[in-house]
Amino acid sequence: MQEPSQRQERLTPAEVTARIVQIVSQQETTKYCTKCQKHVLALRPGTSRLRQMLLTIITLGLWSFVWIADAVRRPGWRCSECDHRVG
C-alpha cells in the first residue's frame, strides 16, 4: 500500500521570492459577498505608497500622473472564494 504522495520537488530561491512578494503585495480584509451570501476574505493588489511617493519626489511630480492612472485602473476588492467583486 502506498502512502499519500507528497510534493517532492523544492521551490527555487527565485520562486520563493516571487511568492513572498505576491503575498506581501496583497491587501486583505473581510467583506460581504453577495454571490456567496456570507462574509468572506476579500483581496486586492496592494501598492507601495512609500515607493510611489519617492518616485514622485525624484521626478519632480511627473510620477504622480502614473500613480493616479495606476490607482484608477487597479482592480478593487475580490472575494477569495468566488472571485466576485465585493464591497
pLDDT at 4 over 60: no
Residue 33, in any domain of the structure? yes
* 7: DSSP letter: -
Residues with Cβ within 8 Å of residue 42, at least 6 apart in sequence: 28, 29, 30, 31, 33, 77, 78, 79, 80, 86, 87
What Rg, from alpha-carbon coordinates, does the chain have?
19
pLDDT for the residue 84: 92
Residue 85, in any domain of the structure? no
Residue type, 74: R
Q: Domain range for residue 65?
A: 14-79
Average pLDDT, integer, range 4-21: 76
Question: Distance of alpha carbon 81 from its chain centroid, rounded?
Answer: 15
pLDDT, one tens digit per residue, over 42-85 is 988 877 788 889 999 999 999 999 989 988 887 889 999 999 99
Average pLDDT, integer, range 2-13: 69
Q: Please count the structural domains in the chain.
A: 1
Average pLDDT, integer, range 1-14: 69
The pTM score is: 0.55
